[in-house]
A and B are shown apart, each in its own frame.
Chain A
Amino acid sequence: MKICNLLSILSIASAVCSAADDYKLGPDSHRHDDIPAGKVTKHRFIESKIYPGSERDYWIYVPAQYDGSKPACLMVFQDGQWYQNTGGHTRVPIVFDNLIHSREIPVTIGLFINPGLIPAAKEGTKPRRNRSFEYDTLNNKYARFLLEDMLPLLTRDFKITDDPEGRAICGISSGGICAWTVAWERPDAFRKVISYVGSFTNIRGGHNYPAIIRKTEHKPIRVFLQDGENDLDNLHGSWPLGNRQMAAALKFTGYDYKFVMGDGGHNGKHGGAIFPDMLRWLWRDYPKG
């Protein structure tokens, strides 16, 4: 009986996480001693005009090759803590070091932003978690937050390109649909998107994007979508179907897109493993300086 229980638990585990999902990070995601490392600094933002009362940590990555003589490209990451972590699923600072050094991507400053939290006022009460509100909502608010609240913090100290082709945005799950929403709302400011296991499902209406994309004049956005056959299927929708619908709508409307469907679950393993190649594809025709 106990063995049966264990077997059934194992089978559930494999169904949720998939039998495979054995993606590994490649050499581009490991540190090499002869390649100069950029600097990552941690900061806290507490004065949002767009999300009043919210507080969050953010990190800035500045590559060793940035000297201030000309504007750098920009790449923004939702759930910044995970992406800046050099032991995490994607290890962006290491990948950036390697691909900037090999001139496969331009000199790019990374901005890694955590979702907001409204701290509790009264003792014994809980903070309000703003992640879904900020990431899953289909409007221009998060784009405005980036442009009006966050970018001034960067341009104060660094030269950042105004060219929207030189600005990319990336996220996972709700952070993935958020990346799309930012470019969709403000293609004048961001035109390159990477989405890992993006939540193009009905958390707050994101399942509507494929239909909206098909009936809207083409926008100048380049997007890489990653998902897995064993991604979520829950009350909000089916992640694999949602991402397939997105890919079909992007194809129908003639977008510059790439869609990779792996066999993973709702995690960053596959996205992290192919992140260097996603960057190469995203920046393939951009001047590397």
Chain B
Amino acid sequence: MFTKAYWILGAGMFATCSISAQDMPLTQILIENEGWEKVVDGMKFCDACCTDSSGNFYFTDVAGGDGVKKVTHEGQVSDFITGVPGISGMQFGPRGKLYACQGRSRRIVALSPGKLPEIIVAEVRPNDLVITADGHLYFTATATRRVYHLNLNGGGNRLQVVATDIAKPNGIALSADEGTLLVSDHMDKEVWFFRIENDGTLGCRAPYASLRLSAENFPSKGDGADVDALGRYYVSSELGVQMFDPTGRMGGVILPPDPNKPLVSIVFSGAGLEYIYVANGDAVYRRRVKSRGTGR
């Protein structure tokens, strides 16, 4: 009976009081007294945060390393791939291969432990990438100010430019349902949202989320991005990890572990996908949160 009364009251309150979308403050994300913990340090420049669906974490030392490092739930660090330097963005794709951007080598490669890199695209300058569950790969080419699409399922003219006119397209992420693609602009405050069309092209472009800047007209340094299971977006930037609700409203800035070093990449990983991992200069940090990732 009391449960029923509660329900009726709640429904009544909603009908008369709630005309706005659900508010999503940082208190829904952050856990009291749970701060950043260092996972790895002593690198030159960490980047390319990535997870597998079990929550093992992967990253690179893009400036000093020569491959991909793996971190288990318990924090054990090992070399996952060697001999493939300069990776600035990566994600697991079809058949468990790890797709990676090698900008200085001007190519995207597919990696599997113990095997030679398979060249997927050459003569491009990729920075970061995402892959949909049905095998569509999108990547940013920051220097040439383009976003590309590649259908990994093959067929026809595979590589195409799908977005231009972004000052410095950098981070790239998919909404939880993979219907929306977002691209951060390292230079500008806007995070560009696109609808993924059925043929893989991008439509309905809009500056749907706006990053806070350190000062007016300063670059946002918008970089790697990820999404949680409830559809909130997380974009690394000069000021920290900026969180947006599913309607593009900024929910808050999660302060970076080391504000004096660049924060360039973020992914949900770890046990239960309940940790935010970030690449922050010469180190990787993680933090347990109330939200969880998508395992992508």
Assess whether B23 is in contact with A173, with CB atoms less than 8 Å apart.
Answer: no
B198 to chain A: closest residue by CB: A121
Asked if B76 is an interface residue, CB under 8 A from chain A, the answer is: no
Asked if B56 is an interface residue, CB under 8 A from chain A, the answer is: no
A165 to chain B, nearest CB (A): 30
Interface CB pairs A-B, < 8 A, 16 = A5-B2, A6-B2, A13-B9, A17-B17, A52-B203, A52-B204, A121-B179, A125-B175, A126-B177, A133-B248, A172-B19, A199-B20, A204-B249, A235-B252, A267-B16, A267-B17
- Taking CB atoms and an 8 Å cut-off, the chain B residues in 3-62 that contact chain A are 5-6, 9, 12-13, 16-21, 23-26
Per-residue interface assignment for chain A, residues 159 to 180, with 1 indicating a CB less than 8 Å from any chain B CB and 0 otherwise: 0000000000000111000000
Assess whether A129 is in contact with B204, with CB atoms less than 8 Å apart.
Answer: no
Assess whether A133 is in contact with B247, with CB atoms less than 8 Å apart.
Answer: yes
Contacts A9-B9, A17-B13, A204-B210 given; does A118 touch B204 at CB 8 Å = yes
Asked if B196 is an interface residue, CB under 8 A from chain A, the answer is: yes
Q: Could you say which interface size class chain B belongs to?
A: 35 or more
Asked if A120 is an interface residue, CB under 8 A from chain B, the answer is: yes
Assess whether A203 is in contact with B249, with CB atoms less than 8 Å apart.
Answer: yes
- Taking CB atoms and an 8 Å cut-off, the chain B residues in 205-222 that contact chain A are 205-206, 208, 210
Assess whether B2 is in contact with A53, with CB atoms less than 8 Å apart.
Answer: no
- The CA-CA distance from A265 to B14 in the complex, in Å, is 12
Complex contacts, B179 vs chain A, CB 8 Å: 120-122, 124-126
B134 to chain A: closest residue by CB: A122
Assess whether B249 is in contact with A128, with CB atoms less than 8 Å apart.
Answer: no
Assess whether A10 is in contact with B9, with CB atoms less than 8 Å apart.
Answer: yes
- The CA-CA distance from A129 to B246 in the complex, in Å, is 9
Complex contacts, A120 vs chain B, CB 8 Å: 179, 195
Assess whether A16 is in contact with B13, with CB atoms less than 8 Å apart.
Answer: yes
Complex contacts, B16 vs chain A, CB 8 Å: 17, 265, 267, 269
Task: State the B residues within 8 Å of A (CB).
Answer: 2, 5-6, 9, 12-13, 16-21, 23-26, 175, 177-180, 193, 195-198, 203-206, 208, 210, 231, 246-252
Contacts A16-B17, A124-B177, A203-B249 given; does A53 touch B9 at CB 8 Å = no
Contact of B208 among A128, A174, A232, A267 (CB under 8 A): A128
Complex contacts, B13 vs chain A, CB 8 Å: 13, 16-17
A12 to chain B, nearest CB (A): 8
Assess whether A121 is in contact with B195, with CB atoms less than 8 Å apart.
Answer: yes
Assess whether B23 is in contact with A132, with CB atoms less than 8 Å apart.
Answer: no
- The CA-CA distance from A5 to B9 in the complex, in Å, is 12
B201 to chain A, nearest CB (A): 10
Of B26, B247, B252, most buried by chain A (CB within 10 Å of CB) is: B247
Asked if A215 is an interface residue, CB under 8 A from chain B, the answer is: no
Complex contacts, B26 vs chain A, CB 8 Å: 235
Per-residue interface assignment for chain A, residues 214 to 235, with 1 indicating a CB less than 8 Å from any chain B CB and 0 otherwise: 0000000000000000001011
Contacts A173-B19, A266-B18, A269-B16 given; does A9 touch B25 at CB 8 Å = no
Of A79, A128, A133, A199, most buried by chain B (CB within 10 Å of CB) is: A128
- Taking CB atoms and an 8 Å cut-off, the chain A residues in 83-135 that contact chain B are 118, 120-122, 124-126, 128-133
Asked if A145 is an interface residue, CB under 8 A from chain B, the answer is: no
Complex contacts, A132 vs chain B, CB 8 Å: 21, 247-249
A277 to chain B, nearest CB (A): 22
Of A5, A17, A53, A268, most buried by chain B (CB within 10 Å of CB) is: A53
Assess whether B9 is in contact with A51, with CB atoms less than 8 Å apart.
Answer: no
Assess whether B195 is in contact with A118, with CB atoms less than 8 Å apart.
Answer: yes
8 residue pairs, one from A and one from B, having the closest CB atoms = A125-B179, A53-B204, A235-B25, A125-B177, A132-B247, A2-B2, A118-B204, A234-B23
B175 to chain A, nearest CB (A): 8
Asked if A236 is an interface residue, CB under 8 A from chain B, the answer is: yes
Contact of B19 among A54, A204, A268 (CB under 8 A): A268
Assess whether A121 is in contact with B203, with CB atoms less than 8 Å apart.
Answer: yes
B169 to chain A, nearest CB (A): 19
B25 to chain A: closest residue by CB: A235
